[in-house]
Structure 1
Amino acid sequence: MSPQKEQPYIGRFAPSPSGPLHFGSLVAALGSYLDARCNNGQWLMRMEDIDPPREKPGAADDILRTLEAFGFEWDGEVLYQSSRQAVYLETIYRLMADDHAYDCGCSRREVAEAELEGIEGTRYPGTCRTGAQADRENLAVRLHTDHPTPIAFKDRICGHVRQVVEDDIGDFIIRRSDGLFAYQLAAVVDDAYQGINQVVRGADLLISTPRQILLQHFLDLPTPTYAHLPLVPDEEGRKLSKQFAALPVSRERPLPALLEAYKFLGQPAFSQSPGSLQEFWEQATACWNSDRVPCNSRHTPLSEQG
């Protein structure tokens, strides 16, 4: 299924600099890039460097150099989220002023002791909605999720998705107690800032999409079209990630890795095997068909999926 054509396609790739580019990230980059290019769209680069404790020195530059070695070409300048802190803070103030967010002094242990199990572990029970513990130091900020209408959207790959955020997640954190801004908030703010209208990313983030759409509603921001790519498992069936020491892809041999990633995304075989990066990109862009991409939503147990 191709994206709608009413407006020019603007997509993006937004890695976090927590380590070198591995094969799972290459799959996400390739899927988003081919989808943008075959639709004559822009492909923007955003570095999600908002969690310094998890970041590795030099990783951001290493990821960019690896992408260049593989033949990726992004449009415009790289946007670093670390330069956007003032905008995120302003957004937090706006949400709080509109009574969409509130201070929270609950510790993780206190939330766990509520014993209300949700999709990602423990569902927050709303303890601080009335300010009961907001006099503590080092407060987090949570978003009110008492939204009367379920969040529903159609993912281009995984089909119809529906979730009642309050029931399945609860009021979620948009700024941590250590002052760092949450991924959900930063992604929403920067997708709107960059004019992103097509989000193509890994299926592990499908579970985040209803929360991001709820934030978009509260902030009067447009909702992009979403497409969630299958995840690459490791030998134990877990999502391939830097957390579990996934090996980086080699800059010296980009073509075999690109061919493997292309095949993993369910794309048709080439009539003639490409002998160079240029030939790969020409053929891959011409052959790309998002309808062939398999859905892998086993990491995303939402209320309803099609």
Structure 2
Amino acid sequence: MTPRDASDENSSRWSDLDRPPLNGAALRKGLVRDGGHAGLYCDIEVVQRTGSTNADLVARAVAGDADEGAVLVAEEQTAGRGRLDRQWTAPARSGLFFSVLLKPGDVPVSRWGWLPLLTGVAVATGLARSAGVDTALKWPNDLLVTVGGEERKAGGILAERAGDDAVVIGVGINVTLREDELPVPQAASLALAGAVATDRDPLLRAVLRSLEHWYDKWRAAGGDPVESGLQETYAAGCATLGRVVRAELPGDRSVTGEAVAIDGDGRLVLATEDGVQEPVGAGDIVHLRPA
């Protein structure tokens, strides 16, 4: 599906007055670098509707039509994806759905696996400041909030390679979804978690500025998660650590144990009942109970 510029839409954009459209021009003015302003972001495009911002930006990067710091934001995604090709759907203008193109060529590729975790830290810290919501991180890429004393998922992160030199980071955050709009009972939104602000323009600005801050620190440290403070900060905000979890691994294998650490490669380390510490680099994590 071809993206359509949000400015082309008519008054139907305002069909839900609680969900005004994003202001692409203001976002570009506030965040995009120019001759007198250094920064990560080279362009921010807001489209009314597309299939997947990640798929679109990966295609542009591979074709050489996008530079580092390109940001693509959609008011609505019709084919949004999470990890393991799960669908991510939400009403138009009810959340933040965007992708960012990064080219960390000065960082060893072996450390690029930290990028989705870095993005989680950036999103959580950005939302804490702008929305007043305590957002926890479920390893490796889920954003959790508390609604009525229950831990629920309000967002997720998807990282995809775009050729040999680039990574596209996609972020989806439910902002104003109401209870009757949730795709599954375990989902949530910032509004349901008691956010003090749900205006998406300042929320997006805060998250993108936080991402730029952490990305700059990580690159300046050559991708070293310790020197950049990323490993310590991620661990401090990770709701998975200290929990008994089940890791559902590729090949229909699963491991149950206490999540005891995030190692230097960004893997989750499980201490099993057999006394073995097993690092998990990919898989689905199910929180079973507190340790």
* Same fold per superposition (TM over 0.5): no
TM-score normalised by L of structure 1: 0.26
Between Structure 1 and Structure 2, the one with more strand by share is 2
- Ranked by relative contact order (alpha carbons within 8 Å, sequence separation 6 or more), the top structure is 1
Larger Rg: 1
Between Structure 1 and Structure 2, the one with more helix by share is 1
